[in-house]
Structure formats: structure tokens, C-alpha cells
Amino acid sequence: MSSLAETSPLAVARTVQALRETVQGWRKAGERVGFVPTMGALHEGHLSLVRLAREQADRVVASVFVNPKQFAPTEDLDRYPRQEAEDARLLASAGCDLLFAPGPEAIYPPGFSTAITVAGVSDDLEGAFRPQMFGGVATVVAKLLIQAAPDVAVFGEKDYQQLLVIKRLVADLDLPVRIVPGPTVREDDGLALSSRNAYLTPEQRMIAGRLNLALADAARRARKGEPVAVIEKDTVAEIGEAGFDSVDYVAIRDAEDLAPFVGAVNGPARVLAAARIGATRLIDNLPI
Ligand code: PAF
């Protein structure tokens, strides 16, 4: 285990063995362990998850691993922002005790052949537009949860479908961890914090906040009992008129399993959307 002594007081584990030794030491001392998996390029949204983990546990581990298996060849794996020293500093300031920052070979050693699929909740929405993603997420999250063996793990509601996929994965594999959702952190204009916001030009940034406003309109209308199909169609148009180049989907779905509604919303629901400005794809969602 090494320490980024010049930049932060945070200990860094590079190997699964180093991670396990530290976590086992805490457990022997009777401490509860919280875990926050990330792909780095940390912002206030991630730090809020670390603080939430801190409230639920005595010790917090965060991982930074840009998982190649969840990117399609055409996606932004190469240009995904990487800033480990800054991430370590931010994690330490938020109360994290250990950064797990493995190299690709520590997660996917030569010969690695296992893939986890979570059927059903993965299939639609993000799964339809990014077929690679949830298999890659499920595989790496299963590994990380087995490696870190935390009592609780915190995942942001910003990636709402991912949160449901992980809950299903944990239930199906009997992983002994409690999954805690972390509320989305937003800019003043409503834009959900995301590492990919860094790609936006100042003009695109002005437009980006309108996605959340459109979803807030949709949620309001759904609560009033308007037909879901009409709201979805109008919201696609509203996002386009706001200046987005294209809309992958706007969907009002059951909050537990993402099943579609026929007619109006008749239970706990979520409105979810993905839209593109230039080369940047943004996602967001709100409760109804
Ligand atoms: O949400 C993310 O940052 C990633 O999908 C995760 C959960 C860390 C898995 O790589």
C-alpha cells in the first residue's frame, strides 16, 4: 500500500490483497465498512456519496477505476478524465479512509473470462442505447463488492437504472451488502453533476440545464394524471427546442422495476431521459 504523501494523507491500495488486508484489520477492530465505487474525475456528487457512506459506517473505502468493460469501442474510454492525485485529495477531505485504485490487470488479469448479465432491468433505456454498459457495470461492481466486502455501498440516483441493476445483482447473488441510494447533486440551474459535464463548451453548458427543467415539467404533468405517452412526446420536443441535438429517450416508468405505464402513472414512478449536445451525452431522472 502506498500513500500520496505530497498531495494528500489518503492511503492508496493498488491490489486486491492490500485492500483486503486493510478492510480485514478494520473488521477485526469491530468497525463497519462503507464503500463508494467511482470512475474518478470526482465532483461534489461523488463526495456527497462518500459523506453518506461515512454516516453509515466507521470506515469508508472509495474505488477509482475507469472500467473498460462498460465502454463501447465508439465511446469515450480514452478521453474519460483521469486525475488521481486530485481525486485522492478530494476523497480525503470528504472523510474517506482508503482509495482503492487498481490497475486494469488487478481487475481483469490475463485469462479473465467471466461476464455478469442482469436481465430485465438492464434491457431497456440505457441498455438499449449502450448495450455494452450494464454487463460491464454488473461484472465490475460484483468484483468490487466481493473484493472490498463492505457492510454498505452507496450508489448515486443520478444513474437511476444502474442503481436498480445493482440492487438486483446484489439480491440475486446474495451479496451481504446493503445498497444505499445517494441523492443527485445539481448545479444552480438544475444540471446534474457529472464527470462528463467537463466536455461541455460554455454554450452547451447553458443549454444543458434545460434537461432537468423539462423533466421537472414532465413530473408535474404526470402527477396531475396526464397520459404518459403524451408527456413523453412533449418532453422530447421540449428538450429539442432547448437546443439539444438529439434525444435518445424520455421515459416515465415504475420506480422499482422500470416497467412502462399504460395510460397515466398509477404508482411510484420516475421520469428518465438521455439527450445529446454535440459529442456529449447527458442523462438525468426525477422522482414522480
Ligand atoms: O457509476 C459509475 O461511476 C460506474 O458505473 C461504477 C458504478 C463505478 C462502475 O464502474
Residues 106, 108, 112, 118, Cα dihedral to 10°: 130
For residue 196, report the distance from its CA to the centre of ligand 1, in Å: 13
Q: Determine the Cα–Cα distance for residues 211 and 240; give it in Å rounded to an integer.
A: 9
Q: Determine the Cα–Cα distance for residues 127 and 196; give it in Å rounded to an integer.
A: 19
33: enclosing H helix or E strand: strand 33-38
E-strand spans in 116-175? Answer: 152-156
8 A C-beta contact, residue 19 and residue 147:
yes
For residue 174, report the distance from its CA to the centre of ligand 1, in Å: 20
* Nearest-5° Cα angle at 242, 220 to 43: 80
CATH fold of 195-287: Pantoate--beta-alanine Ligase; Chain: A,domain 2 (3.30.1300)
- Ligand 1 atom with the smallest distance to the CA of 65 is 10
Judge whether residue 5 has pLDDT over 50.
no
- What are 217-275's pLDDT values in tens digits? 999 999 999 999 999 999 999 999 999 999 999 999 999 999 999 999 999 999 999 99
Catalytic residue among 46, 143, 221, 270: 46
Judge whether residue 1 has pLDDT over 60.
no
| 36, 61, 67, 283, best to mutate for ligand 1 pocket (most atoms within 8 Å of CB) | 67
- For the chain, the maximum distance between any two Cα atoms, rounded to a whole number of angstroms, is 59
46 is a catalytic site residue: yes
For residue 39, report the distance from its CA to the centre of ligand 1, in Å: 6
- Ligand 1 atom with the smallest distance to the CA of 70 is 10
CATH fold of 4-182: Rossmann fold (3.40.50)
Give residue ranges with CB within 6 A of ligand 1: 37-39, 67, 70, 137, 140-141, 159, 162
pLDDT of residue 269: 98
On average, the pLDDT of the chain sits at 95
Q: Domain-by-domain residue ranges, the chain? A: 4-182, 195-287
Beta-ladder partners of 287? 270
